[in-house]
Amino acid sequence: MTDTTTTEPTPFAPIHDPAERGFASDNYAGIHPEVLAAIVAANGGHQVAYGEDVYTARLNEVLGEVFGAAVEVYPVFNGTGANVLALQAATPRWASVLATSTAHIHADEAGAPERIGGLRVNVIDTPDGKLTPELIAAYPDRTGDEHFAQIGIVSITNSTEVGTVYTPAEIRAVADAVHERGWVLHLDGSRLSNAAAALGVGLRELTTDVGVDILSLGGTKIGAMLAEAVVVLSPERVAGLVWLRMQSMQLASKMRFISAQLIALFEGDLWRRNALHANAMARRLSDAVAGIEGVRLVTRVEANAVFPILPRVASERLMERFRFYFWDETTGQVRWMCAWDTTEADVDAFAEAVRTEMTSR
Ligand SMILES: Cc1ncc(COP(=O)(O)O)c(C=O)c1O
């Protein structure tokens, strides 16, 4: 019989330039070496499948320490899955969701909350991607009207889809407004690490301590590969997550590899190091283009994204060399996103290209 454990690995040559980096998304970055090392360390030997492994047990301890002892942790593959699962688990069959019009669950999940979760998402326009008690109070929620899908959960995102950050006090105020109405507060924390790093606070101060009931915790954007988790902070407000995760096709058989990555990020300070770095690169980029005529910085840079407006033709020419997206085609607003692996040299070269493009016009 062949001994497969001693087979030499077949060399695999990358088919892209490993030095290529742009500003399109923090999801474009690869896996952080410490996370990759954790995956490798968890490899070898057998572990019980579907989450009954030692890594998932350890992850529960780690996130218990990070968020508070009472948490329940459900590792999943992606952020959309985490959101749809969290929203479903904390709402009755007839309820709907309230979020901002820029919320990923509304704008960028192809209707997954509606299709998979059966949850209508009602939205509020905001100036900065953030809900407030005032905006919630002004929303015509038609409580008690049997012709309207009754709101059961409010979803906020931190850092937001437009790069702004909620402070702990702002989340507390939203949580109070939500709980006064008997609703549940969900936080899309796809970039929670960037928000906490920007504010210099811990993850608990932005969640458990300020009334968040259920959290989608991001790992992928700060250096993991296919690793997110639903973290339940108010277990009494949630039901059936274990079955919903399977029905939503988010139950990983080889869960140890998701859990090992999240341990690597959250057991120590890797999450903060990576987020601080990505945020600092966005700040550097914003500072570098601030004085360039024709580049308008219309939103505050609070986390790892810059959202400037520049002439469409200039963006299109820059896009021939650097990857990034239009955020709003009508205004010419673009999104420049920095990742854990963005370098100062990347930023400086890009800023210089923006300057050259704008001054040669
Ligand atoms: C704020 C926010 N939430 C959730 C997600 C969903 O993540 P995924 O693409 O892993 O489903 C994203 C992805 O870009 C996001 O930006």
In a domain, 155, yes or no: yes
pLDDT band at 299 (very low <50, low <70, confident <90, very high): confident
Question: How many angstroms separate the alpha carbon of residue 202 from the centre of ligand 1?
Answer: 21
Same domain, 76 and 112: yes
- Residue 161 alpha carbon, nearest atom of ligand 1: 1
Same domain, 277 and 259: no
Same domain, 231 and 122: yes
Question: What is the average pLDDT across 298-324?
Answer: 95
pLDDT at 2: 53
pLDDT at 11: 80
Same domain, 159 and 262: yes
- Residue 27 alpha carbon, nearest atom of ligand 1: 14
In a domain, 22, yes or no: no
Predicted structure pTM score:
0.96
Question: CA angle, corner 251, sides to 249 and 253, nearest 5?
Answer: 125
pLDDT at 3: 58
pLDDT at 10: 81
pLDDT band at 117 (very low <50, low <70, confident <90, very high): very high
- Written in H, E and C, the secondary structure of the chain is CCCHHHCCCCCCCCCCCCCCCCCCCHHHCCCCHHHHHHHHHHCCCCCCCCCCCHHHHHHHHHHHHHHCCCCEEEEECCHHHHHHHHHHHCCCCCCEEEEECCCHHHHCCCCHHHHCCCCCEEEECCCCCCCCHHHHHHCCCCCCCCCCCCEEEEEEECCCCCCCCCCHHHHHHHHHHHHHCCCEEEEEECCHHHHHHHHCCCCHHHCHHHCCCEEEEECHHHCCCCCEEEEECCHHHCCCHHHHHHHCCCCCCCCHHHHHHHHHHHCCCHHHHHHHHHHHHHHHHHHHHCCCCCCEECCCCCCCEECEECCHHHHHHHHCCCCCEEEECCCCEEEEECCCCCCHHHHHHHHHHHHHHHHCC
pLDDT at 222: 97
- Residue 80 alpha carbon, nearest atom of ligand 1: 11
pLDDT at 9: 74
pLDDT band at 302 (very low <50, low <70, confident <90, very high): very high
pLDDT band at 228 (very low <50, low <70, confident <90, very high): very high
Pocket test for ligand 1, best of 108, 116, 187, 249 (most atoms within 8 A of CB): 108
Same domain, 73 and 119: yes
Same domain, 103 and 169: yes
Last residue of a domain, one of 231, 266, 301: 266
Same domain, 237 and 340: no
Same domain, 257 and 170: yes
Q: Is the pLDDT of residue 144 over 60?
A: yes
Residue 22 φ/ψ, nearest 5 degrees:
-130, -155
Q: Identify which of 167, 158, 143, 235 has the alpha carbon closest to the alpha carbon of residue 190.
A: 158
What does the pLDDT look like over 314-350, one tens digit per residue? 999 999 999 999 999 999 999 999 999 999 999 999 9
pLDDT band at 104 (very low <50, low <70, confident <90, very high): very high
In a domain, 24, yes or no: no
The number of folded domains in the chain is 2
What does the pLDDT look like over 62-76, one tens digit per residue? 999 999 988 999 999
The residue range of the domain holding 285 is 270-359
What residues are in contact with ligand 1 under a 6 Å CB criterion?
A: 78-80, 83, 104, 157, 161, 188, 190, 220
Question: What is the average pLDDT across 303-310?
Answer: 97
In a domain, 207, yes or no: yes
pLDDT band at 101 (very low <50, low <70, confident <90, very high): very high
Last residue of a domain, one of 266, 283, 312: 266
What does the pLDDT look like over 232-269, one tens digit per residue? 999 999 999 999 999 999 999 999 999 999 999 999 99
Pocket test for ligand 1, best of 27, 101, 104, 261 (most atoms within 8 A of CB): 104
Question: How many angstroms separate the alpha carbon of residue 108 from the centre of ligand 1?
Answer: 8
Question: What is the average pLDDT across 140-166?
Answer: 97
Same domain, 127 and 215: yes
Q: What is the mean pLDDT of the chain?
A: 96
Same domain, 297 and 311: yes
Last residue of a domain, one of 251, 266, 281: 266
pLDDT at 70: 86
Question: How many angstroms separate the alpha carbon of residue 162 from the centre of ligand 1?
Answer: 13
How far CA 150 is from CA of 103, 146, 228, 270, 319, in Å, comes to: 19, 8, 29, 40, 44
CATH code of the domain containing 305: 3.90.1150.10
Same domain, 339 and 248: no
Q: Is the pLDDT of residue 1 over 60?
A: no
